[in-house]
Each structure stands twice: as C-alpha cells, then as structure tokens.
Structure 1
Amino acid sequence: MAVVFYLNDSQKPDGHTVYDFMKKLQDWILENLEFTVSVGIGSETQTLGNIPQCYAEAKVHLSYKPVFGLGSLIGIRDVHAKTEGRIFPHLQSVRTLVKSFRTDDGQWQNHMISLFQALKKGRFSQGDINQITNYLIYHLNKELMEMTGEAQELWATEYKPVLEALVEHSEKLEEWHERLVMLLSELEPRVRAARCARNNHELICQVKAYIETHYFDPDLSLNRISDQYEMNPRYLSKLFKEEFGEKFIDYLLRIRLEEAQRLLLKTDLPVHNIAERVGYVHVISFHRAFKNGLGVPPGDFRKKTEVKSNG
C-alpha cells in the first residue's frame, strides 16, 4: 500500500507529521488486527513531478526491514543513523549480489567474493552475520517469488529453509561463505533450467540482448521492440519483469546510466555528448534522469569522483 500525504501551509515539512500519523496507525493495527505493518517513508517534495522519486525512496527504505525489524518506521533519518553501523554499509552489496543472481548475468560469484572480503576486514559478531543472511534471504525471496511457479516452489520448499538454517549454524565467516556459495551454486542451474523450460525464455533473452546493443538509440521503446518481435507491449513487459525482475523501462534506464557513468569517469567528453551517446536527444532530460538515478547531476558526479581520486 502506498500513501501520499498532503501537508497544508501550517504543517512544516519536517517529517514528524508523517511519522506520528503512521505510528498511530501501526499502534491501532497492532491492537486490533493480527498482523504488523512496516513503513518506508520517502522524502518531502514541493512538486507533483517528484512523487515517483519519493515513492522509490520509500521502497528502498522499506527494503531495510530485515535490519530494522518487523513493525518498523524507516525514513532517511533512520537510514542515516545506521550508515556508520557495522553491517549497514554492506547491505547494498547484498542487493547487488541478489539482483545479479536473479538476472543470471554470470557475476554473482564475483559479488559474493567482494562481499566476503569486505566482511573479513571487519570484526563481525554472530548476530551481525545473521542479520546479513536474513537480509539476503529477504531479497532472494522477493526476487525468486516473482519468477515461474517451478522456480518459486524450488526456492520456497528446498532452498529457503536451508538458508534459514544457515543463520543458526554458521559460527565462522569462512564457513558461512563456503556454505552460501555452495547453496547458490546448486540453485543457479536449477533456476536456469526452470527458465529455459518456458517457451518465451529465449525470446525474452533476445529482447534483453537487443536493449544492450541498441540502448543508444533515442527511439528505442517498448512499443518499437514489441512491433519488431510481434508481441503485445503489455504482455512483453509482463514477461520481461517475470524473467529479470525489472521493468523494461527501468532496465533500459539502468543500462544507459551505467554507460553514462563509465563515460564520465573514463573520458573527457562533454556531458551533452555523453547524453547523445546513451540515447538522449535533449541534455536536460539526461540531467534529470541521471540526478534521479544517482542523486547528483552528471557534472557533479564527475567532479566528486575526480576529487576522491586525487585525494
């Protein structure tokens, strides 16, 4: 459920009004119903056009529920309060690992190694490792339960219980890493086989490959690809989401922004040239998409990275 709050002129946009209201709602639900509600809170905005971004922020905050616990209220101030914590800096790596596993891009083991090496440098308790594992299970469950019925059953009946048991029985980080890699390596080909058993798997993979080789085309769109592959746009969009856990438009945007980041870091090309190279006719549209996706304009992204490199 999504809720949009409209604050009048007498209510300061400090976030307290939203927190107080949602806390009262949580208390009422806890007292009168047989379930709990966790809440992710996005930032405030003065314009309607920024509401999608606020909603996206709220979804990201809610994804930290396994860390904050059931029945949590999670906003930007709560996230910031934990960013200096022991495990919080590694949670993005967990999400990247899971996304890589779901999309079958062949990189999840590299992400797993990076995560393990980063954790090995710190001093983590059994409780810390348990929280990271629970976070991993949460996102694997979210991704795999969006797939075909066979993949869902495979995950829910065979692998999720084993991973949950892993939380209780891995006393050493090395043991945790070894068991986790073994389980995911065993699950990977079985999920792939479930994918391949579907008639549309090969076609959707062709669509994905087409996006990756034509992302620079400003006219690339769902309707255009649907026409090319003679499919209904809505049906193609549904199949793409089921296969890769990401909407067509979100995947196209991610590919474009990843290439834009590479060009900003590796070349001296002006921003307007980079915009053209990643499929944007108007540089202002590129600026807006880049800032919404990465939080800073492309020019500031390049400067910030240069400062870090020189420092």
Structure 2
Amino acid sequence: MKKNPWLRFFLSYLFVFLFTAVSLVVIFLFILGNASKQEADNANNRYAHTAVKTFDNTLRNIEQAIIQETLTNSDLQSFYDHTGTNDIYSNYLLYSRFRDLTSSINGIDSIYLYRTSDQKVMSDSYLLDLADFEDKEFVTNRMEQPNLNSWSSPRSYSSIKGGQSRQVVSLVKGIPFGTAQQGLLVVNIFLPYLQNELAEIGQSDLHYAYFTDPAGKPFFRSMESYNNDRVQIQSELTDWSLHSGLKNTKFGGFLSIISFFWIIFITLVLMFGISLLIYVFRRNYKPIDTITNRIQQYVYNDKYRYEGDQFTFIDSSIEKLILQSQHHEAQAAKDLIWKKSTLLRDFVTGTMNSVQAETKRELLEQQLLERFKAAPRSCLVLLIEVDAYNIFLQTYNERDQLLLRFALQSAVSEMSGHYSNSIWIEWLSGSRLCNLIALDEVEPNSLDTILQMCEEWRNWVEGYLKFTITVGVGEPVPALSNLPYSYEIALDMLDIKATLGSNKVISQKNLSQQPTAVIYEQLATIRSMIHYIKTGKELWENEFRSIFAEIKARHSSRKAIVNMADYLHYHLTKEISGLPEDIAVYWNHILLPELKEALKHFASIDELERDIFAALCDISEKINIRRESSPHYQNIGAIQAYISAHLADPNLSLNQISEYFQLSPSHFSALFKEVMNEKFIDYLTRIRIEAATRLLVTTNASIQDIGLQVGYVHSFSFIRVFKKWTGTTPGEYRKKKESG
C-alpha cells in the first residue's frame, strides 16, 4: 500500500462516488415515475372536467327546451289554470305536443303533468286521477319536498299499472316555477341514453368515467368494478358526482421498458466513469509526490520528517503553517482602530453571531475604558432622521447631500460634547444618523439632559439648514449586550413620527400613552364607511373622521397606519368592482394609483388623511352623479318607504313589491340594483338586521319577538342570518352592548 498510495486514496473515495451516483440514478427514476404519474393525473382531471361540462350542457339543453315549452304553450297554461279541463281538443293538443317533444328531443322517454287543484295527471296518452297513477309515490314525494334538485336520481318508472318499468332520471319543474302551487311537470329521460351520451363524451383508452347519485351509488352496474378513482367532481346542474380514473393499460409496462433501458445506459456510464476515475487518479497523483518532495527540502525538524506516509507528512506540514498563521492573526488583532466603526454598528443593530459577540463586546469595553477611565453605568441609542427624505433627495444633488450630512454630523458631535459622553456618531443609512451615548447614572437628571440636548440639535437644524430632523430616543440599558433593545426603542419612536408629526424629539417619557396598532373595531368602521359611500349616504364622512381620530389618539405606528390604509383600499376596490364599469375604471386607473403613491411617501398622518379624504370625496361624487342620473332615481324613495312599512311581513319579496309598483320582477330587480348599487335581497336583509340590532339594544323583547318584528317567522332562521351579517348571535350581541 505504501508503494501505491494513490490506490488507497482512490478506494477511499470510490465508495462515495458509487453511492452518490446510484443515489442520483434512483432519484432520477423516482422523479421520472412521479412526473409520469402526475401528468396522467392532470390529464385525467382535465378529461373529467370536460366530461362533466359537456354532460351538463346536454342536460341543460333539455331543461331549457322544457322551460321554453312551459312558458310559450298556452294549452299547458290552460291545463294548470283549470280553464280547459273538459276541453277534449285542448287535451288532444297537449297529447300531440308531448309526443312531438318526445320524438324531437333525444333521450326523452315520457312526459306527464300533475295538477294540484283536482289531483289529475296527464301524460302523452291519457288523463287520470293521481290515485290511479303508477308514479304517484314520486309525485307525492316531490310535492312534499319542493326544494329538491330539479334532476332526480335514477329510478324505475312505469306509466301504467302492470306495465314494464324502465330506468329513468326525471326532470321535475314546479308550476309556477319555484313554488309548485299549481302542480308539477315531469320529464323522464331514458337512463341508457345518458349512458350512451357519457360513453360518447368520454371515449378514451386510458380513462373511464361514471356517475353516482347523492348516496354514492353508480348509475350503471357495469361501473361498480372500477375502484381506481382519481377524480370526483360534482355536477353544477345536478346533485350527481362524476368519478373518473385510469384504466388498466399497457402504459405502465411501456414506462417500465423505458426505465429498463435507462438503467442499462446509466450502468454503462458508471462503468466508464470508474475507468476514467482510475486513469485520472493515477495521472494526477504525481503532483502530490512533487509537493511532498518540495516540503521535505525545507523541513529540517525531525518532528516533520517524511517517514513514508505522504498524507501524514503533508498534514503535519499544514499544521505548522496554521500555527504560524494564527500567530500572525493574533498580532493583527491588536490593531483595533480601523475596526471601531464595524464593531459599534454590529452592537447597535444586533447584527452579529454568537461566536463574535463576546469578543467584540470585550474589545468595545476596552475602548470605553481607554476613553472614559471607567466603564459607563449605562448607554442609550439616539437616532436622528432627516424629515421628508424623498424631497431632500429631489432638492439637492449628490455633492450637496454629502455636505449637508457632514454638517449635521459635525453639529451633533460638537453639541453632544457639551452635554454627554458621546461614544460614536455614524450614519446608518442615507437618512438616519446614530449617536451612541454613555450615561452617568450618578446624575439624577441625566436623561432630561439628553432630551434637552436633542432639542438643541433640532432647533439648530431648523434654524441653519433647509430641512428638519426628528430624533428617536432609545431607553437606557445597563450593558453593551442590550444595545439592540435601545436601538429598537429608538426605531419605534421614529416609526410613530407619522402620527405625532415631524421635527420633534420623541421618547417614551414624553408620550401620553404607548403606541398601539389600529384596533379591530376600526375594520368594522371601515366597512360601514365604504357601504355608506356605495349607497350615497353622507354619514361616511363622520366614520372617516372617527377612524383617523382613533389612530391619532392611539399614537399608532407607521406600519399600523399602512395596514389600515391597505385594508381600506382592498375593501373599497372589492365593492367598486360591482358598480358600473366607468366608476370602476376611474377608481382602479386614476384614484387607486394616486393613493398607493401617497401611501409610500406620506410624512404625517394629516397628509395621508387629506389625500384619502379627497379621493373618497371624488369617488363618492361619481357614484352619486351616476345614481341621480338614473331615470328611476325618483321612484326609489317610494320603494324604500314601502319596504320599511312592510318590514315585518315574512312574505315580503321581489315579486310582491314589483307587482305593487306594476313592474316585472326582472325589470324591478335591474332598476333596484342600478340605483341602490346592491341587490334587493341584500338590501332587504341588511335593513332587517339593522332594525333588529336597534331593537336588541333599545327593548327587552325576546329574540323570537324581535325576529317576528323584522319579518322572520322562525327564530332559528333569524339567528342564522343575524350571525352571518354581524358575526355574532342576537343574544351575544345584546350582552356585548349591555356590558359595553
């Protein structure tokens, strides 16, 4: 082994090389397999969504055709109105029309009508009583549960007693639509037709698909054998679910063949790599022999003499070199002058690791002892920030900026010498100057003296320079290791400059209360204010003033103010998106960019308040002009009065009000949305909940009685809607108001 040292070196790394190479191969094959599986899953997911969408369109076309027939066929309307019951000719026309629909629309097995007034059933061939109808159980169930989905699950259907039953799904429509007060219209779709449609939609050698009812039962028994579902999607039109997965194909075997060839190829590459590695090691090991010989020529100490093991010899030589290097580093560490700035910056900002901290602290304490003849009892950090720094950068060129910074640093340094022991003054950034102060706690008013010194700095800059400064005063700390705490306090003081204003000396001592974030209740006030803007109420100005008054009173930090403004922008943008396009475009492309720019550069809370208020006034005016320009604006007052007068009516609805004002429901809904900027149902729910909150606070009525007074017959419905709108139940809301 001594004769071939390169071989020992080679074998020691060969295992690492092989382990790494094999690991990379395994990882590569694993990633390849996962990628193939992921791609198959993605393809199956796209296939399933396409199948559901296409299938829904097919069913929707049938449903729309039936709806159109219901709305346009006068004979059908006469049947339900009971005006043509004994008209044989009208019944014959209905029979004929049913047969036409059955033959013209693919998939329809049969159609029948049920009339509630006399419990008669008319199909495409006969008129009989419900009691004699074979499908009476289905009709009765649908009448008892009118809110079920229009499309039923698969079921057996027979038109006459003793007849052969067929598997169908049924489309059920109440007459009138949504109520079933006059009866039902039932269209039976032949289930095998749906099976054929699904087969045509999803013809694929890789994928399978089948539907299940809400209970999870497959429509077709042939699909029960599939148990490799990858996707389950619920239809938007029905309550059915589409299950889809991959069939057992030769696709996996194909991937296995590919992987096998990859393994052969990689094995050959590894063998070639090992051969090349042997050649490279033998060729490149020669310089190690050369290095060993050269080191030996300069080593005369027996301790480092080469005795056959080249690596041990090289290791001992390097150890000697390291010892010499450490000696030189120890000598160089004694020169501390050039390191002073870096050391202090690390201490103030806390940007040092734990290994460096102890050494640097000892070096700094040594400097303090040399300067003050004794260790200071405490220290604090003062941060001087140039106000309106963006304007400062725009006003002065780079040379003038350097001169002004030098003048400020020199003035601070000179005036600090008359009041305190200033350890270090240095610019931390273009706008912030740091002054580290050593305090003597023997003097009881030392902190007051520091504040007086800061005021002199501020007055001098205001009088002699063309800008102002704000000073953030940190808290005194007993040890140098605690300087980052004092620095953070000074930063916090500068952060609330936006609330208190610039050109000030800010410390915790002269604050009436500690700065706090914007409280959660302000978020609710913001939402209320935006609703007033949207609906044209002038109350939004009072809400706006109260928000900013609360911010000022709490001395909120700049970060809290920015978060509040961002929430206001987000919520207002969301609400305006539902308004006419010209208003949304004006907000998104003109006002919102201006507000975002103002939020980046505002110097005080008053400045930000002024900019936001101007923008809100602008958008409020746009909304009001648009509302008042509507030809229906004058009618909305009467509509609101009617709603307020009938608020306790549980049957108050869009149809009732539109009928009272002699308008169609769709026209009335569009008119209301255009003028009020909110849907009718949202408006009705909101004023009911607002009335309920007033009754909860001003009366002792029970929850059920209050629900009745605002139009809710069932207390559980009232509680559910109240909690959805307010975030709390009526009982909790009343307790909160009574305790608060």
Contact 2:517 2:556 (C-alpha < 8 Å) held by counterparts: yes
Match of 2:547 in 1: 115
Match of 1:168 in 2: 600
Change (3 A) 1:153 1:196: farther
The reply to whether residue 133 of structure 1 matches residue 565 of structure 2 is yes
What is the rounded CA distance, in whole Å, between the counterparts of 1:303 and 1:211 in structure 2? 29
Match of 1:286 in 2: 718
What is the rounded CA distance, in whole Å, between the counterparts of 2:726 and 2:584 in structure 1? 32
Shift of 1:235: 4.3
Which stretch shifts more, 151-160 or 162-171? Answer: 151-160
What is the rounded CA distance, in whole Å, between the counterparts of 2:586 and 2:670 in structure 1? 22
Within-5 A mapping of 1:175-194: 175-194=607-626
Contact 2:527 2:571 (C-alpha < 8 Å) held by counterparts: yes
Question: 1:301 pairs with 733, 736, 739, which one?
Answer: 733
Match of 2:582 in 1: 150
Match of 1:232 in 2: 664
Change (3 A) 1:153 1:261: same
What is the rounded CA distance, in whole Å, between the counterparts of 1:240 and 1:190 in structure 2? 18
Which stretch shifts more, 190-199 or 254-263? Answer: 190-199
Shift of 1:115: 0.7
What is the rounded CA distance, in whole Å, between the counterparts of 2:665 and 2:568 in structure 1? 33
The reply to whether residue 86 of structure 1 matches residue 488 of structure 2 is no
Shift of 1:242: 4.7
* Amino acid corresponding to residue 721 of structure 2 in structure 1: A
* 1:28-72 Cα distance to aligned partner (Å, 9 max, x none): 9xxxxxxxxxxxxxxxxxxxxxxxxxxxxxxxxxxxxxxxxxxxx
Shift of 1:147: 1.6
What is the rounded CA distance, in whole Å, between the counterparts of 1:224 and 1:240 in structure 2? 14
What is the rounded CA distance, in whole Å, between the counterparts of 2:568 and 2:649 in structure 1? 36
Q: How many residues align?
A: 225
* Amino acid corresponding to residue 554 of structure 2 in structure 1: G
What is the rounded CA distance, in whole Å, between the counterparts of 1:182 and 1:277 in structure 2? 41
Change (3 A) 1:257 1:229: same
Match of 1:207 in 2: 639
Shift of 1:107: 0.8
Question: 2:682 pairs with 235, 247, 250, which one?
Answer: 250
Question: 2:527 pairs with 75, 78, 95, which one?
Answer: 95
Change (3 A) 1:125 1:239: farther
Within-5 A mapping of 1:35-54: none
What is the rounded CA distance, in whole Å, between the counterparts of 2:637 and 2:581 in structure 1? 19
Shift of 1:212: 3.4
* Amino acid corresponding to residue 121 of structure 1 in structure 2: A
What is the rounded CA distance, in whole Å, between the counterparts of 2:587 and 2:729 in structure 1? 40
Shift of 1:269: 2.1
* Amino acid corresponding to residue 536 of structure 2 in structure 1: D
Change (3 A) 1:264 1:183: same
Contact 1:147 1:243 (C-alpha < 8 Å) held by counterparts: no
Contact 1:126 1:171 (C-alpha < 8 Å) held by counterparts: no
Q: Which has the higher contact order (CA 8 A, sep 6+)?
A: 1
Contact 1:217 1:279 (C-alpha < 8 Å) held by counterparts: yes
* Amino acid corresponding to residue 276 of structure 1 in structure 2: L
Contact 1:215 1:279 (C-alpha < 8 Å) held by counterparts: yes
What is the rounded CA distance, in whole Å, between the counterparts of 2:613 and 2:540 in structure 1? 10
Change (3 A) 1:301 1:188: closer
Q: Secondary structure at the match of 1:220?
A: coil
Match of 1:47 in 2: none
Unaligned runs of 5+ in 1: 1-27, 29-84
What is the rounded CA distance, in whole Å, between the counterparts of 1:139 and 1:297 in structure 2? 24
What is the rounded CA distance, in whole Å, between the counterparts of 2:637 and 2:580 in structure 1? 15
Contact 1:259 1:278 (C-alpha < 8 Å) held by counterparts: yes
What is the rounded CA distance, in whole Å, between the counterparts of 2:639 and 2:561 in structure 1? 38
* 1:258-281 Cα distance to aligned partner (Å, 9 max, x none): 111111111122333222221223
What is the rounded CA distance, in whole Å, between the counterparts of 1:95 and 1:145 in structure 2? 15
Change (3 A) 1:239 1:167: farther
Structure showing the higher helix proportion among its residues = 1
Q: Secondary structure at the match of 2:537?
A: coil
Question: 1:272 pairs with 704, 707, 726, which one?
Answer: 704
What is the rounded CA distance, in whole Å, between the counterparts of 1:120 and 1:93 in structure 2? 16
* Amino acid corresponding to residue 255 of structure 1 in structure 2: I
Q: Secondary structure at the match of 1:139?
A: helix
Which stretch shifts more, 180-189 or 105-114? Answer: 180-189
Which stretch shifts more, 229-238 or 87-96? Answer: 229-238
What is the rounded CA distance, in whole Å, between the counterparts of 1:213 and 1:234 in structure 2? 23
Shift of 1:131: 2.4
Contact 1:264 1:298 (C-alpha < 8 Å) held by counterparts: yes
Structure showing the higher strand proportion among its residues = 2
* Amino acid corresponding to residue 162 of structure 1 in structure 2: E
Question: 2:691 pairs with 250, 259, 263, which one?
Answer: 259
Unaligned runs of 5+ in 2: 1-41, 43-515
Match of 1:81 in 2: none
Q: Secondary structure at the match of 1:93?
A: helix
Shift of 1:239: 4.3
Change (3 A) 1:169 1:294: same
* Amino acid corresponding to residue 731 of structure 2 in structure 1: G
Change (3 A) 1:179 1:273: same
Contact 1:148 1:195 (C-alpha < 8 Å) held by counterparts: no
Please, what TM-score do these two structures have when normalized by structure 1? 0.63
What is the rounded CA distance, in whole Å, between the counterparts of 1:239 and 1:262 in structure 2? 29
Contact 1:150 1:194 (C-alpha < 8 Å) held by counterparts: no
Change (3 A) 1:250 1:88: same
What is the rounded CA distance, in whole Å, between the counterparts of 1:297 and 1:140 in structure 2? 27
* Amino acid corresponding to residue 86 of structure 1 in structure 2: A
* Amino acid corresponding to residue 281 of structure 1 in structure 2: V
What is the rounded CA distance, in whole Å, between the counterparts of 1:244 and 1:170 in structure 2? 35
What is the rounded CA distance, in whole Å, between the counterparts of 1:299 and 1:183 in structure 2? 39
Q: Secondary structure at the match of 1:97?
A: helix
> CA-atom RMSD, angstroms?
2.7
* Amino acid corresponding to residue 165 of structure 1 in structure 2: E
Shift of 1:295: 4.1
Change (3 A) 1:95 1:123: same
What is the rounded CA distance, in whole Å, between the counterparts of 1:106 and 1:235 in structure 2? 28
Identity, in percent, stands at: 34
Please, what TM-score do these two structures have when normalized by structure 2? 0.28
* Amino acid corresponding to residue 707 of structure 2 in structure 1: A
